[in-house]
Amino acid sequence: MSKARFSFTFSALLLLCLVLLTWPATLRVSTSSVPDFGSRTAFANPPRRSNGLTDVVQWDNYTLFVRGQRILLYSGEFHAFRIPVPDLWLDIFQKMKAAGLNGVSIYIHWGLSHPAPGVLDFDDWRDLQSLFDSASAAGLFIVLRPGPYINAETTAGGIAHWVTSQVAGELRTNATDYRAAWEPYIQAIIDATVPNQITNGGPIIAVQIDNEYSQKPINRAEYFAELEAAFRAGGVVVPLTHNEPGEGANFINGTGAVDIFGMDSYPQGQCSDPETWNPVTPNYHQYHESVTPSQPFYMPEFQGGSFDSWAGPGYDACWILTGPDYEDVFYKHNWASNAKLMSFYMLYGYDYGAAIRENRALSPKFDELKRQALFLRSSPEFKKTDWIGDTSTGGVSVNGTGAFVTLLRNPDSGTNFFIARQNDSTSTASVDFTITAQTSTGTLTLPRISNSIALDGRQSKVIVTDYSFGSSNLLYSTASIFFAGRIGSRDVLFLFGESTQSHEAALKLGPSNSGAWGISSFVKFSSDSANDVTTITFLPGITGLVTVWESSSQLVLFSDTVTATSFWAPVIPGSSDLSQYWEFGSNETVLVGGPYLVRNATIQNSELQLTGDLNASVTLTVFAPSNIMTVTWNGMPISDLKDIQGKSSAITGRLNMKATNSFRLPQLTNWKFADSLPEIQATFNDANWITANHTTTNIITPPVFGDGRVLYGCDYGFCEGAVIWRGHFNATGAETSVNLTISGGTAFAASVWINDVFIKSTPSDSSTPSQTNEIFTFPAGSVKTSQDNVVTVVQDNTGIDESGSTPDNSKSPRGIMGFKLNTGEFTTWKLQGKLGGYTGYPDRTRGILNEGGLFGEREGWHLPGFDTSKWQTRPLSEGLPNQDAGIGFFITTFDLHMPSGTDIPISFVFDDDSARYRALLFVNGWQYGKRVGYLGPQVKFPVHQGLLDYNGKNTVAIALWSLDANTIVSPKVTLVADGFIDGGVGHIALNNHKWSPRRSS
C-alpha cells in the first residue's frame, strides 16, 4: 500500500480527452438503441487467456475464470502478522465470508519470517499452512502477496532488517547480493504455495510480485523478472500479478511484465478533516481500456480506510473519512468503471478505520460492504458487462440535474446496470432524477409511477433492468437488491431502500390466485396486462420487513436498509473439494435475519443448523427450503419456532443470549516497580557490550560528523527497539558539551546523560522529526576530571523507513549520526540493543520485533513468571520516583474468569493526557502497544484472547520512559470490554511461554 494519494495531472487529463475522442462509436450508444446481440458475438465471447502453465485460472477482458467459471473477485486485505493468534484467523475469514466476500489478499512479512541470515521461521503465528487452511475452511480464495517488499505501513516495508545493513547493492533491484538475500525466503514461500494453489485443490489463485514499483530503470524490471523466474521454476503456475501505484502502466509489457496488471488507488487523504472528501477519479475506465483492454480491470488495493500518523486525529476519524457513505459512492464508482477484481485495504489488520475494527468488532462499514457483496454474489449477469457510456458521453439519458449515471450492460442477457451518484461526488445535497432505459418491453422512463429516484447526499444506487433471479425476471428496480436467487424451489428477491425515499420495481409474478400479496399501506401494486408485469411502489415510511408477494415458486421481500442489514445469506456447504466456495461447492443458501453474525449454516435432512454470534437477544427470521422443520442455533434447538406450515417458509423464533454480561474486569493495582536504567550508574560495567568500531556502512546516509566511527545500531545487529549507547572519554576539565545528531525514525525520542546526571531529551517539544541535531550541555560538576566519563544515550527506534519509490530509503540510519565533544575525543563507544541482536534473540515464539534493548527487556522482566516479589510496591500513577527522567518497569498480574461461550474483546486504555512520556505495553510477554503521551493519538490498545488468558492469570508490564526531570508523569491504565458477544470463536490456544533465566546483558 502506498501512503501517497495520487494526483492526476495534465497528462492524465490529456489521456482522458484522447480516449473519449477516440472511443469506439459502438460504445457510445443511447439506451434507447436496441442492442444487436448478433453483431456483437465476437465482442461478447472474447478469447480466454492464460499464462500457458495452467488452464485452471484463465481470464478475458471481463473477469477471471477459475475451473472454467467466471468469478468477480470481491476481496479484502488481511495481515496475519498483526493478529498473532492463529485460532482467530478463521474468525476474521468467517466474517469476511459472511459479508459475501469471496477472496482475501494476504501480505507475508519477509522480516518476520527471515529474521537473520540463514534463519527461516515459519513456526507459530508465522505458519503459512494454518493460514491457508483457515481461508480454505471459510471458502475464500487467496491472492498471496509475499513481497519481498510489501510496504504495509510496517518497518522497512517488510524487508528483513538485516538486509538493510548487510546488502551493499541497491535494494529491490537485480543486485547480486540483494538476490542472494531474498532467494531463501522466496523459496520457502514457493514451497508453501505450490501445494496450496487452486490447481492442487488449494485456495491460492494468484501471487503478486513485490509491491507498487516502477519498471525503470532496467535493474528494477530485471528484479521482477528474477522473482518471476524463481516462482515459475519452483512450480507456481497461477497468474502472477502487480499492483501499480496509480496510473503508471508499469509491468504490462517488457521485462518483468506480469500476467495480470492491477492498479491501486487511495482517493482520500489523511484523516485530519474527515468530513471533507476528494472527488472520485473520473477516468478509471478509460485508463484501463487504454493500457490493458484484454485483461479484467483489477484493483489489488482500493482504499478501505486510512493510516493515522503520530499526533494524528485517531482512527475513529479515519473511519468517518472512509465510512459507509464513502464505500457506497467510491466502491460503486469502481463498479461503474467496470472493475471486476477488487480488494479493499484494509479489511482487517491494524485498525486503519477498516470495516472490521482492530478488536475484531463489526462496524457499519462492514454492513455496507455486506450489502454490496451479497448483491454482487446474487448477480451473475454483472460479472460480464460492457461499459456503454455515462452522463458525460451521452450514453445515458438522465432527466434532472445533479445526477451522474453510468450504464453497464451484459452483452448476453441485455441486463442493464445503471450506477448513479451525484455529479459532484462530494456533495451532501439531495437530488432527484429519472432515467430513460431500453428494456425487453421497450423504452421506459424510470420510475414509471413514482416521481423520481432520489440521491440524498453522499449516496450511490444501482438501478437494474431485465435482471434475473432464479427462473424469474425483474423488469426493473429503482430499489436496491440485497439478495436474488433460489432458496429451495422458490425464486427469492429481497429489495431494500431508505425509509425516507420512494422506490419502485416491476416484475412478472404468478397468477394472483397462486400466491398472496403483502398487506401494507406503504406498498402499492399496479398491473400491466399487456406485458403481464406488476409494478410495485414502495412509499416512504417503510420500516421492518414486508412480504410483498409469496407463492410456491416466488418470494418477494422489501425492507428498509437497516433491517436488510440484519440479514445474512450463509453458504450451505456442498460435497466437492471446494465445498465452502459459493458457485463452486454450493449454490444453496438461506436467509437468516436477526443475529449479530451468522458464521455457518448446514442442512441435515429437515434440520437447519446455524452457528453464529449474538450481541443481544433477537427475533430470528429464516427463509429456507420448504422441507425445513427444525432449526438449531450453536447446537441447541430453537423451541418456539412459528410459521413452518402452509405456504409461508418464513420461520421465526427467539434467540436469547445464553451468557450474561455480569462479569467485571479487574482493576490494575498492586504494581511492582524497578528501575530499568542501571546503565547510567557509575558501577555499571559495559565490558561485555559490543564496541562500535565500524568505519564503513551500507546505510545510505553516512555519518554527518565525528571521527569516522559508524554508530548505527543495525550495523551491529540491533535493528529493533531501543538501543543504548555509551560514549567514553577521559576528561581534562575543558569538556562542557557534546553535539549529537540522533536518528530514530519519525516521532522518535532520545534521552542523554553525562555519567549519572541527566542532561535533556530530544526533541524537547511535540514535533515528530526522524532525527535531531542538538548541543547537550554538561551540568556543572557532572564531568569528572582525569577520569573516565560516559555519555549515555537512550535512543528509541520507531521503525526503519519504507522504501517507496526510492529502494534504498530502507537503508535508513538508526543511531547516532554525528558526535563531537566541544573539545577532546571519545575513546570508546559501546552499544547494546535487544539481547542477542537479530541473530541470537531468545524469544523465538513472539518473534524478532517483540523486544528492544531496555535493561528490563533484556532481562525478560516483561515475561510471565518473572519474580517481582522483592521489587518496590509503587502505583503506576505515581510515575518514576522523585519525578526523575529515566526508565522504569511497572508490573502487575490480574486474573480473568470470562464466561464460557463468549467472545469479549478487551482493550488496555491509557488516560488521555499529554505528559512527556513514552510507554511500552507488554501483555503476557507480548509487546502490544506503544503509548506516547505527548503525541498520541492512540490511547486504546486491543489485546486478543490467546495473548490474554481468559481463564487464568495474566501479567502486564509497562516500561515507562519519562523524558523530562521534575515533571509529573502519572499514567493510568484500565481494562475495558469493547463488547459482549454470545457465541464467538470457540477454543483459543495460548502460546505465552514463561520467563526463564537469561544470560547477562
In the chain, the percentage of residues whose pLDDT exceeds 90 is 91
Q: Work out the average pLDDT over 49-62.
A: 98
Q: 0.85 exceeded by the pTM?
A: yes
What's the rounded mean pLDDT across residues 742-770? 97
Helix (H), strand (E) at residue 133: helix 128-138
Q: What is the pLDDT of residues 892-931, one digit of tens each?
A: 999 999 999 999 999 999 999 899 999 999 999 999 999 9
Residue 21 pLDDT level (bands cut at 50, 70, 90): very low
The predicted pLDDT at position 17 comes to 35
Query: Which of the four pLDDT bands, split at 50, 70 and 90, describes residue 35?
Result: very low
Least confident stretch, 2-16, 317-331, 734-748, 969-983: 2-16
Give dist(CA 933, CA 484) in Å, integer: 51
Mean model confidence pLDDT for the chain: 94
Over residues 85-103, mean pLDDT: 98
b/e string for 252-262 if b means 16 or more Cβ within 10 A? beeebbbbbbb
pLDDT in tens, 564-613: 999 999 999 999 899 999 999 999 999 999 999 999 999 999 999 999 99
**Span 31-42, mean pLDDT?**
36
State the catalytic residue, choosing from 212, 381, 735, 857: 212
Cα 379 vs. chain centroid, distance in angstroms? 26
Quote the pLDDT of residue 645. Answer: 38
Q: Which pLDDT tens digit goes with each residue over 835-854? A: 999 999 999 999 999 999 99
Least confident range from 37-51, 367-381, 503-517, 939-953: namely 37-51
Give the residue-averaged pLDDT of 851-859. 98
C-alpha grid cell for residue 873?
510496591
Predicted pLDDT of residue 44: 62
Neighbours of 337 (CB within 10 A): 25
Mean per-residue pLDDT for 540-566? Answer: 96
Higher pLDDT, 950 or 32: 950
Banded model confidence at residue 22, pLDDT cuts 50, 70, 90: very low
pLDDT exceeds cutoff 80 at 42: no
Average of pLDDT values for 473-482?
98
Which range (415-429, 521-535, 747-761, 768-782) has the least confidence?
Answer: 521-535
Question: What kind and span of H or E run contains 96?
Answer: helix 89-98
Average pLDDT over residues 60-81: 98
The DSSP secondary structure of 488-535, one letter per residue, reads: TTEEEEEEEE-TTS-EEEEE----GGGEEE---TTEEEEEETTTTEEE
Lowest mean pLDDT among 169-173, 446-450, 860-864, 981-985: 981-985
pLDDT at 41: 39
pLDDT value, residue 7: 35
Q: What's the whole-number mean pLDDT along residues 316-327?
A: 97
Clarify whether 275 is annotated catalytic. no
pLDDT above 90 (res 974): yes
Q: What percent of the chain has pLDDT over 70?
A: 95
Instruction: Spell out where 744-848 has E strands.
Output: 750-754, 757-762, 771-777, 788-795, 815-821, 828-832
Q: Is 393 helix (H, G, I), strand (E, B) or coil?
A: coil
Selected catalytic residue, list 226, 247, 289, 301: 301
Decide: 263 and 243 in contact? Cβ < 8 Å: yes
pLDDT at 148: 98
pLDDT band at 169 (very low <50, low <70, confident <90, very high): very high
Comparing 210-214, 842-846, 912-916, 971-975, the range with the smallest average pLDDT is 912-916
Q: What is the pLDDT of residue 317?
A: 96
643 pLDDT more than 90: no
CA distance 926 to 940: 16
Tens of pLDDT along 343-366?
999 999 999 999 999 999 999 999
pLDDT of the residue at 351: 93
Residue among 82, 84, 197 at smallest CA distance from 143: 197
217: preceding bond cis by omega (within 30 degrees): yes
Whether 583 is catalytic is no
pLDDT of amino acid 38: 33
Query: What's the mean pLDDT in 426-455?
Result: 97
